[in-house]
Structure 1
Amino acid sequence: MLVRSTDREPARVPSRPLYAGKKMLSFLAFTALAPTYSAKIVVLVDNKPVEFRNEQPQTVQGRVMVPLRGVFEAIGAMVQYDPANRTIEASRNNESVGLRLGSKIAKKNGAEIMLDVPPRVIAGTTMVPLRFVAEAMGAKVGFDKANNRVEIMTQDVPPVQPSDKTDDPR
C-alpha cells in the first residue's frame, strides 16, 4: 500500500520483509498440518490388497492413515461409528478398540493408549492410524519402504517377500 505524500510527511511504504515473513509463516503452518501426499501406499491384509472406496491411505505427521472401514473390515473386525459423539468402536476376537475423532487418547480393551496422530476426517472420510488399529486388533504390521507397502498379518500366513523390508514405525 503506497500512500501519497504531502508537503508535511513522506510517503509510507509497507515493510516488505515483514509482509513476506508473515506470508511464509502462514504457508509453513498450513503445510505442516496438512496430510503428506506421496506415492500411493499399498495395504495388504494376509497378502491380499485392500481396496479403499473413497479416500486412499496417506501419510500424516509421519504416520500412515487409512479409511476407517477399509482396514477394520479387511482384518475381520466389527465396526461402529457414532457421529453424534464422534467415536469409533471396533472389536475382533477378544480385542476391542475405542477411538474419538481428534483425540490422541485411544482405548484398547479398556486401557488408555496415547496415539501419535489422532483419528480425523480428511475429505469427508474418517481416517485412523493404521499401525495402532491393526496391532490393537491382534495383527502384525510390517512396512516395505522400498515399495511403499504396508503388510498386515492376521494369521500365520507367510508375508510377501519385499525387496527392502524395514521395521518402520508407520
Structure 2
Amino acid sequence: MRQVPSFDELLSSATRSAVHLEMRDVYAVVEEAGELKLWRSGRWTLDDGRRALGEWMELVASVAKRGVAVRRARIVSEPVTDYIKYEHALTPLNVRAGEEVRWLPRRQALGIPLPAADFWLIDDRLVRFNHFSGAGEAVEPEMSEDPKIAALCSSAFEAVWNAAVPHDKFEV
C-alpha cells in the first residue's frame, strides 16, 4: 500500500475513468454533520447542498471536462436509511457536476464479489479504499496499485453498475 494523495490529486491524475463504489447505509463524516442536521430539520434546500458541495462539484466538473468518465454506484439497503435519503437529495448536484450515478438495492448485489471497503478506482489501475468505523466515521484510507486488487475492484464496480438503476429512476 502507498501514501494516500488528496482527492484533488487523485481525481486530477485520472486520464480515462474515475469510479466510486459506496456500500454503507450510514456515513458519519464530520464535514457533513451540519448540513445533515439542516436536512433533517426540513429547512434544507438544494442551494444549501450546492454551497456545501461547491468545491467537490468544481473538482468533478474539471475532471469530466477533460473527458474522464466519472461514475458513482451506491449499494443500499431497503428500506433506505435517512442518510441515504439525504444522499439521494444531494445527488442531482453530483450529476450536474458531471458524475453519472446509479443505485443498487443490496438484495440485488448478493451474487457480486465485492471488496470489503468503499473505493475509488482511477483508470483501472489505482485504488483508494475508504475505511470507516462501525459508527460510520472516516478512518485512515489506503491506496493500492496491485493489479489483482484493481481488477477485483473494476470487476465489482462494473457488475454493480450494470445491475444498478440510474439516479433519475431510483426512488427512495
| TM-score of the two chains, using structure 1 as the length reference | 0.26
Rg larger for: 1
- Bigger relative contact order, structure 1 or 2, given CA contacts below 8 A and separation 6+? 2
Bigger share in strand: 1
Higher-helix-fraction structure: 2
